Amino acid sequence: MRVRAWSGELSGRGACRHPDGAANLVRSALHVFGEEFTLHAHAGRCSVLATLQRVA
């Protein structure tokens, strides 16, 4: 995933720690919600939609 690679390249490049914090937030979100991001990228939807459709 390009975002993961980009966030790794960003660390330590800013004059302050703000870019590092933003990159860490992105990496954390990808770690926790990686499957959801992949589903959105490839299927254009999230897992909640599939769950709601099964219940209805």
Mean pLDDT of the 1-8 span: 74
Confidence at residue 55, expressed as pLDDT on a 0 to 100 scale:
66
Q: How many domains does the chain have?
A: 1
Residue 19: left if φ>0, alpha if ψ -120 to 50, beta else—which one? alpha
pTM of the model: 0.63
Confidence at residue 50, expressed as pLDDT on a 0 to 100 scale:
67
Quote the crossing angle between the two packed helices 18-43 and 2-10, to the nearest 10°. 180
Q: Which domain holds residue 34?
A: 2-55
Q: What is the pLDDT of residues 11-56, one digit of tens each?
A: 777 788 888 888 889 889 989 998 888 888 888 877 877 666 676 6
